[in-house]
Amino acid sequence: MIIGQFNGWNIVAPPSYPAWKQVEYSVEDVIGEAESPFTLQAQQQDWGADRWSLNIALPPMSQADAAAWTSWLMEMRGKLNVFQMGDPLKASPAGAAQGTPVSQGANLAGARSILTRGWQPSTQAQLLVADYLQAGYRLHQVISANVDSDANGFATINIWPSLREPTADGDPIILSNPTGLFRLAENKRGWSVAVTKMFGIQVQIKEALGWIGTLTGMAVAANPSTIEINDTSQCTAYVIGTGHFSQDFEWFTAPGAGTITQEGLYTAPGAPGTYQPYARSLFDSRFQANTPIVVQAPGTPPSGTVTSVSVVAHPSSLGIGQTAYMTVTVTGTGNYGTGVAYSCVYGTIDQLGNYLAPSSPCTDTITATSTFDPSKSGSCTVTVLSTPPSGTVTGVTVTVVPPDIYTGGLATCTAVVQGTGNISQAVTWSCSAGSINSSGIYTASATAGPALVTATSVTDPTQSAIANVFVMNPPNGTVTGVTVTASPSTIQTGQSATCTAVVTGTGSFSQGVVWTTNFGFINNMGIYTAPGSAGTATITAYSSSDGSVSGTATITVQATTPPPPSAPWRPSAFLDVGDVPVVNGPLAYDTNLSTAAQFSANWDSLNQQSDGSDVQFIGFPAKIVPSGGVTLSITYAYNRAGSGSLAIYLSISGGAQVQLLNITTTTGTTTLTYTAVPVGTNLANVVIEVIVSAGFHNPGQNQGFIYDIEFN
């Protein structure tokens, strides 16, 4: 008897009598493995799939009792229909199970733990390991740890298998007589009859799984995002979700807002303004996203500036006919495009940056030119050798974006060849279903199902890697607001802040947003970078489910604060060990000598001057960046053993030395005050150096003591 439907399947109720005599449980996780026949090294791939499988035996029964079961087997139509079943020996949990648990928020499909609320607060062992629960139509078992509720009645439950369908906030978590959804494992089914006229029935069943996915958002970008009237911009879109879903979408624009092809090429209208091309999911039409494009009159200066373009080749040395790929970085300020056009001298290169070396050795130059500002470009060189460079390949990794697509959809596959020495990044692509070109662009087949994509190293064909692609047939909520937070909300020029957005609404909707700003730059992860000037940036997050709903936050960009002045530098040979300058005031620097720093001058023929004197120097330079003038104060003493003098000089930023004082007395202590730079002078990066010179004309010892040097 059909009692309901789920996911397009008819749910057929099994007979209640007689009950199962024996059930054999099997649990299955799908883990792929590729093993090298040469090295026996293996690589595992977690496909994220898991399911229940059961072998069920009914007790011997009479023909009258068996009639209901044989009829049910026929009504199941082999693998077509489904039924509900639980564990009759665990109809209720072994744990306390106090309260009425429900889903806390939305738990996403594929999750291996679920957040719940509604439990009796602060209760241990609400559920024990191996207890069953039901979420939707699915049967799960508690794993890893017992479940305790916190003071608010919340609890996190680790489960197996993974969550099949997403749960909405408030969905019930069923603990009494939990069941799952199963189907027959084979289309062929039957029973036996003994000479005693007793019937025997055994059934193999498996969990009923389908191609089910949930979208969580979409993102759209335009390059460039500022164009002139009737000009074009290339738009790209990406669909985000969980489970198995399609990346297929359609482009459209509002009337009078320009036109866009299904390849994403947007053509601006004939009037300036800000327009928004839209991308709408074909998997779930509730999800769409847009991006603003500023259309300006001809000759309007661009709002952003590209400052540099850099490009790197991987590898930079390869053999003739081999391939390399480029990575490019475009930097700038304001709202600028990151697109580039590639060119080379001898080989060939496509606009994805895939380079093919020519048939003869050479040194080739690869150039990436900004499409936003063609005056900005970057280049690198590639050395093409007659024989491939030496190196050892140790492995290959493969990435597929997106991993879940609709029939006929596209995915981009990239491979990285790992190893030692100078190795080639060239790979040969192949797939188990669909098609893939030499650039790694995968096209799904017209039939739903899993596919394997394989990348094999050209240098060492024994090294390869696989990645999985889920191909699906194409298969709803309201966004009410977006709240944006910037942290920190005040930064200096050139610094960054992290922006987060929370989307609110009813029903099933995406948390995805598209970021924009009117000042500076923000990427699709919400990382904002301030420009080189002060101002206020408005950060806007548009809901990717409903582009008409958005939220904003502001970031104050302040001028960069100059670094504090450097502390005076002094030769350690003349100052106390560990002596640290101290600040006497906002712009004051003090040597803070705990004891006098001794300067001793002895007669030395190496320093003998033309007049027979001997001169020794010691310098006390200091780099200071105050906003006004500087007054220099020096406290000193001089003990002369013979004839000679002690001179103190001042030098500003390497300029000529100015003699402040020349001491010829045998003893004395004097404080010298000198206005080194007038008040109001711009002292950014000014270096003031004090030089002490002691000289004498006969052997002996002249001693000088510097007690204190201050910059006020």
Q: Tell me: the pLDDT tens digits for 282-328?
A: 766 667 888 888 888 887 665 678 899 999 887 788 888 777 878 88
3-state SS of the chain: helix, strand, coil percent to 5?
5, 55, 45
- The answer to whether 712 and 629 are in contact (CB under 8 A) is no
Residues in a beta bridge with 150: none
Q: How many CB atoms lie within 10 A of CB 223?
A: 17
Closest CA to 622 of 672, 581, 681, 579: 581
Q: Which fold has domain 213-296?
A: Immunoglobulin-like (2.60.40)
- Tell which CATH classification among 2.60.40.1080, 1.10.10.10, 1.10.940.10, 3.30.70.20 matches the domain 391-472: 2.60.40.1080
Task: State mean pLDDT over 505-528.
Answer: 73
**pLDDT of 438 over the 80 cut:** yes
Same CATH topology for 304-385 and 481-558: the answer is yes
Is 2.60.120 the CATH classification of the domain at 572-711? Answer: yes
Give the model confidence (pLDDT) of 606-657 as tens digits.
344 444 444 444 444 443 333 344 455 555 555 555 555 666 666 665 566 6
Task: State mean pLDDT over 523-541.
Answer: 81
Higher pLDDT, 327 or 100: 100
pLDDT > 90: percent of the chain = 25
Separation of alpha carbons 633 and 712, rounded Å: 8
Please give the pLDDT value at position 303: 64
- The answer to whether 52 and 206 are in contact (CB under 8 A) is yes
Separation of alpha carbons 205 and 201, rounded Å: 13
Alpha helices by DSSP H, 14-120: 63-75
Among 26-35, 51-60, 91-100, 500-509, which stretch is predicted with the lowest mean pLDDT?
A: 500-509
Please give the pLDDT value at position 54: 94
Please give the pLDDT value at position 92: 92
Mean pLDDT of the chain: 76
Exposure string (b/e) for 269-278, b if CB count within 10 Å is 16 or more?
A: eeeeeebbbb
- Tell which CATH classification among 3.40.50.300, 1.20.1070.10, 2.60.40.1080, 2.30.110.10 matches the domain 481-558: 2.60.40.1080
Separation of alpha carbons 160 and 165, rounded Å: 14
Among 179-188, 243-252, 319-328, 652-661, which stretch is predicted with the lowest mean pLDDT?
A: 652-661
pLDDT > 70: percent of the chain = 70
**Direct distance between the N- and C-terminal alpha carbons of the chain, in angstroms, rounded to an integer:** 97
**pLDDT of 682 over the 60 cut:** no
Please give the pLDDT value at position 183: 95
Name residue 254's amino acid.
A
Q: Cα 235 vs. chain centroid, distance in angstroms?
A: 22
- The answer to whether 134 and 179 are in contact (CB under 8 A) is yes
Please give the pLDDT value at position 604: 38
Higher pLDDT, 346 or 39: 346
Which of 43-57, 124-138, 368-382 is the most confident on average?
Answer: 124-138
- The answer to whether 237 and 211 are in contact (CB under 8 A) is no
Separation of alpha carbons 413 and 451, rounded Å: 13
Task: State mean pLDDT over 173-190.
Answer: 94
Separation of alpha carbons 284 and 325, rounded Å: 35
- The answer to whether 102 and 136 are in contact (CB under 8 A) is no
**pLDDT of 582 over the 70 cut:** no
The domain limits of the chain are 2-207, 213-296, 304-385, 391-472, 481-558, 572-711
Please give the pLDDT value at position 705: 47
Q: Cα 297 vs. chain centroid, distance in angstroms?
A: 37
What is the architecture, at CATH level 2, of domain 304-385? Sandwich (2.60)
Higher pLDDT, 213 or 608: 213
What's the Cα-to-Cα distance from 140 to each of 82, 131, 158, 207, 686, rounded to whole Å?
17, 9, 9, 11, 72
Separation of alpha carbons 311 and 327, rounded Å: 6
